[in-house]
Structure 1
Amino acid sequence: MNLIRLVLCVCAVFGTQLAQADATRYPLTIQSCNRDVTFNEAPKHAVSHDINMTHMMLALGLKPHMTGYSGISGWKAVTPQMKVILDGLPELASKYPSVETLLNANVDFFFAGWDYGMRVGGDLTPQTLTPLGINVYELTESCAFVMKRPPASMEDTYNDLRNLGKIFDVQDRANALIAHMQQEISEVQKTLPASKPRVFLYDSGEDRAMTSGRLGIPHALIEAAGGNDILSDIDASWTRINWETVVERNPEVIVIVDYSEVTAEQKQHFLETHPALQSVDAIRHKRFIVIPYVQATPGIDNVLAIQTLAKGFHPQ
Structure 2
Amino acid sequence: MKRLLTTLLLAALASPAMAFPVTVDSCGTLVTFEAAPGRMVVHDINMADMAFALGLQDRMVGVTGISGWYKTSAEFDERRGDIPELAPKYPTMENLVAAEPDLFFAGWYYGMRPGGEVTPETLEAQGIKTLVLTESCIHLDQDRPAASMDLLFDDTLRLGKVFGKEAEAKALVDDWTSKLEAIRQSVPEGEATRVFLYDSGEDQPFTAGKYAITTAMIEAAGGTNVTGDMETSWGRTSWEAVAAANPEFLILLDYQGGDGAEGLLAFLKAHPVMSQTDAVKNERYVTLRYEELTPGPANIDAIGKIAKAIQGGAS
Q: Structure 1 length as normaliser, TM-score?
A: 0.91
Of 18, 29, 51 in structure 1, the residue corresponding to residue 45 of structure 2 is 51
Of 177, 183, 186 in structure 2, the residue corresponding to residue 182 of structure 1 is 177
**C-alpha contact (below 8 Å) 1:51/1:77 kept by paired residues:** no
Q: Which secondary structure state, in structure 1, belongs to the residue aligned with residue 37 of structure 2?
A: coil
Q: Which residue of 1 aligns with 2:245?
A: 249
Paired with 1:81 and 1:26, the residues of 2 have a C-alpha distance of: 33
**C-alpha contact (below 8 Å) 2:157/2:169 kept by paired residues:** yes
Are 2:195 and 1:199 equivalent residues in the alignment? yes
Q: Which residue of 2 aligns with 1:275?
A: 272
**C-alpha contact (below 8 Å) 1:77/1:294 kept by paired residues:** no
Q: Which residue of 1 aligns with 2:158?
A: 163
Aligned-residue RMSD, C-alpha: 1.4
Deviation (angstroms), 1:233: 1.9
Paired with 1:130 and 1:68, the residues of 2 have a C-alpha distance of: 18
Q: Which secondary structure state, in structure 2, belongs to the residue aligned with residue 157 of structure 1?
A: helix
Could you list the structure 1 runs, at least 4 aligned residues long, displaced by more than 3 angstroms after superposition: none
Q: Which residue of 2 aligns with 1:33?
A: 27
Deviation (angstroms), 1:273: 1.2
Q: Which residue of 2 aligns with 1:299?
A: 296
CA offsets per residue over residues 138-188 of structure 1, 9 Å max, x none?
Answer: 001111111121111110111111111110001111001101111111111
Q: Which residue of 2 aligns with 1:217?
A: 213
**C-alpha contact (below 8 Å) 1:24/1:167 kept by paired residues:** no
Q: Which residue of 1 aligns with 2:233?
A: 237
Q: Which residue of 2 aligns with 1:17?
A: none
Deviation (angstroms), 1:265: 0.7
**C-alpha contact (below 8 Å) 2:23/2:32 kept by paired residues:** yes
Q: Which residue of 2 aligns with 1:9?
A: none
Q: Which residue of 2 aligns with 1:95?
A: 89
Paired with 1:76 and 1:232, the residues of 2 have a C-alpha distance of: 25
**C-alpha contact (below 8 Å) 2:198/2:207 kept by paired residues:** yes
Question: In the TM superposition, what are the counterparts of 1:280-291 in structure 2 within 5 Å?
Answer: 280-291=277-288
**More off after superposition, 114-123 vs 229-238:** 229-238
In structure 2, stretches of 5+ residues that fail to align are: 1-15
Paired with 1:314 and 1:308, the residues of 2 have a C-alpha distance of: 10
Q: Which secondary structure state, in structure 2, belongs to the residue aligned with residue 193 of structure 1?
A: coil
Deviation (angstroms), 1:309: 0.4
**More off after superposition, 116-125 vs 228-237:** 228-237
- Give the letter aligned to residue 306 of structure 2: L
Bigger relative contact order (CA 8 A; separation at least 6): 1
The sequence identity of aligned pairs, in percent, is 42
Deviation (angstroms), 1:24: 3.7
Of 254, 259, 262 in structure 2, the residue corresponding to residue 258 of structure 1 is 254
Q: Which residue of 1 aligns with 2:4?
A: none
Q: Which secondary structure state, in structure 2, belongs to the residue aligned with residue 142 of structure 1?
A: helix
**C-alpha contact (below 8 Å) 1:162/1:174 kept by paired residues:** yes
In structure 1, stretches of 5+ residues that fail to align are: 1-21
Deviation (angstroms), 1:77: 2.6
CA offsets per residue over residues 62-84 of structure 1, 9 Å max, x none?
Answer: 01111111110111331222112
Paired with 2:274 and 2:223, the residues of 1 have a C-alpha distance of: 21
**C-alpha contact (below 8 Å) 2:227/2:242 kept by paired residues:** no
